[in-house]
Amino acid sequence: MKNSSILTGIILIVLYAHIFAQPDRSKVPAIPPAPELNLPAVQQFDLSNGLKVYFMEKHEVPLVQLNILVKTGSVNDPNEKSGIAGLMADMLDEGAAGKTALQIADEIDFLGAEISSGAGMHFSSVNLHTPLSKFDQALRILSQIVLTPDFPENELDRLKKERLTTILQWHDDPRSIASVAFSQLLFSKNHPYGRPSIGNEVSIRNISAADLKDFHNRYFKSNNAYVITVGDITKEKLTAALEESFGKWQKGDVPQVKLKEPEQVKNRIVYLIDKPGAPQSVLSMGRVGLPRLSKDYFPVSVMNTVLGGSFSSRLNQNLREQHGYTYGAFSSFGFRPLPGPFSAQASVQTEVTDSALIQFLKELNDISAEIPEQELSRAKNYLALGYPSNFQTVRDIAGQLAEIVQYSLPEDYFNEYIPSVNEVDAAKAIDAAKKYIVPDQMIIVVVGDRSKIEEGIRRLNLGEIKNLSVTDVLGAIPEVVQ
């Protein structure tokens, strides 16, 4: 009985403590201050052949991430060989130094490492993730892939069929149709920003292994490349390993591409792309935005977070939570060396296509009028509190370092990001909205069942309406022989 009484007393004490420790639920919990981001310094040095290296030491885990960045991408594709940069990058690990794709994969797997490759608009990359103990062996394999790819015909045929199959599938996917159409109509088919990075049926079929080798030889030069390394390694060991694997990489003359500044939208035009039987309408609207190095980068980032850059943004709260038109509505800016796109997007129920357009335009107009302090603080906290999560692993950090390399950002950029966000006030955010969100000068792309949505759209009097077919956007459905 005595032990039972003691046990009962303990339980009562715990219960009372729990009751009186309950938080005050009558008030919204205070948002904690954004954590300080204090990363190690970014070290920069050159190899004997001039290859530039960006390096950050991180000794918590015995892993190394090493990325090779080469300044070439889809903007370097010739018109008749559109898609060649992406195909070349994907082919790098499909055979190199006389080894087959399977042999390379077996060697990498045996080391517990990973190698991936790909191309963006302005840069291509080959990335290595490896245990420190296998770094030297993995780096040798990486150098073979980067410097001496074989571009075997059988692997090229397979990847070309995959791309043609992708284009075939796009014809039945309204979101893909809208995405391709938006870029194409905003930037034009003749601008690199306006065409799909994988190319088109004609260009894909025209690319040969010899074309890939020529493209690789023209752009994969040591003076056109960068090494980004993050991990549990010293500068001395890294330098020695890189000199051994990449020290003989030759310099050379690299062709320069002069990109034309995109032309801004001058009037509002609605492009209606007919997809008979579509249960939803895909809406994409926007205009040319701003380059990455604009002084307005942070005001625009904060303003867009209020408008459509988070789940609690105005667009999503209006179209999803208030009206139930969609599962999600959002907006974004594509930051590039030249002005990229601003776009606002959602997939909505067919019968409310016109109503959804009204609400989109309402929010696009209202963002330039007022941004209350509470809304502004929520947006800044969203950006600031989420930013440190971009630096959790060596892979994450190397990916972030790529931005510093591509845009020549200052070395302390990461540590200054949160203070820069916090410096944005309502006036700066509203000025950014007035400058870059101009609803009367936007294209509006609608992919849906024209027979059900055209009449409602016309009643809105949004501007000129141009009717297009899916083949106007994507071309004819490609024939893929398996």
Give the span between the Cα atoms of 353 and 290, in whole angstroms.
29
Q: Are both 211 and 301 inside the same structural domain?
A: no
Q: Are both 366 and 463 inside the same structural domain?
A: yes
Q: What is the pTM of this model?
A: 0.90
Checking DSSP bridges between strand 225-231 and strand 43-46, what pairing results, if any? unpaired
Least confident of 2-6, 160-164, 377-381: 2-6
DSSP-assigned letter for residue 265:
P
- Is 461 part of a structural domain of the chain? yes
Q: Are both 439 and 317 inside the same structural domain?
A: yes
Q: Are 307 and 366 in contact (CB under 8 A)?
A: no
191 lies in which domain range? Answer: 43-246
- Is 54 part of a structural domain of the chain? yes
The pLDDT tens digits of the residues spanning 100-112 come to 999 999 999 999 9
Q: Are both 408 and 456 inside the same structural domain?
A: yes
How many distinct structural domains can be found in the chain? 2
Q: Are both 275 and 327 inside the same structural domain?
A: yes
**pLDDT at residue 39, rounded to an integer:** 86
φ, ψ for residue 244, nearest 5 deg:
-70, -40
**pLDDT at residue 37, rounded to an integer:** 76
Q: Are both 195 and 68 inside the same structural domain?
A: yes
Q: Are both 241 and 276 inside the same structural domain?
A: no
**What average pLDDT does this structure show over 244-251?**
97
Alpha carbon of residue 269 to chain centroid: 27
SS3 assignment, position 289: coil
**pLDDT at residue 479, rounded to an integer:** 87
End-to-end CA distance of the chain, in Å? Answer: 81
Checking DSSP bridges between strand 269-274 and strand 464-468, what pairing results, if any? parallel
Give the span between the Cα atoms of 394 and 397, in whole angstroms.
5
Give the span between the Cα atoms of 121 and 124, in whole angstroms.
8
Give the span between the Cα atoms of 154 and 156, in whole angstroms.
5
- Is 51 part of a structural domain of the chain? yes
**pLDDT at residue 10, rounded to an integer:** 61
Q: How many alpha carbons lie under 13 Å from residue 391 in its C-beta half-sphere?
A: 20
- Is 261 part of a structural domain of the chain? no
pLDDT band of residue 425 (cuts 50, 70, 90) is: very high
Among 212, 246, 280, which residue terminates a domain?
A: 246
**What average pLDDT does this structure show over 341-357?**
98
- Is 19 part of a structural domain of the chain? no
Q: Are both 169 and 285 inside the same structural domain?
A: no
The pLDDT tens digits of the residues spanning 173-218 come to 999 999 999 999 999 999 999 999 999 999 999 999 999 999 999 9
Q: CATH number of the domain that 90 lies in?
A: 3.30.830.10
* Nearest of 70, 67, 44, 40 to residue 55 by alpha carbon: 44
Q: Are both 164 and 313 inside the same structural domain?
A: no
Listed in sequence order, the residues at least 6 apart from 433 whose beta carbon sits closer than 8 Å to its beta carbon are 303, 307, 367, 368, 371
Among 191, 213, 246, which residue terminates a domain?
A: 246
Q: Are both 232 and 350 inside the same structural domain?
A: no
- Is 15 part of a structural domain of the chain? no
Listed in sequence order, the residues at least 6 apart from 303 whose beta carbon sits closer than 8 Å to its beta carbon are 367, 371, 379, 429, 430, 432, 433, 437
* Nearest of 181, 158, 186 to residue 171 by alpha carbon: 181
| Averaged confidence pLDDT in the chain | 94
150: left (phi over 0), alpha (psi -120 to 50) or beta: alpha
Q: Are both 76 and 209 inside the same structural domain?
A: yes
Least confident of 23-27, 373-377, 429-433: 23-27
Q: Where are the beta strands (DSSP E) in 134-186?
A: none
> In this model, does residue 416 exceed pLDDT 70?
yes
pLDDT band of residue 249 (cuts 50, 70, 90) is: very high
Q: Are both 289 and 232 inside the same structural domain?
A: no
The pLDDT tens digits of the residues spanning 310-345 come to 999 999 999 999 999 999 999 999 999 999 999 999
How far apart, in Å, are the Cα atoms of 438 and each of 179, 262, 443? 20, 16, 11
- Is 142 part of a structural domain of the chain? yes
- Is 296 part of a structural domain of the chain? yes
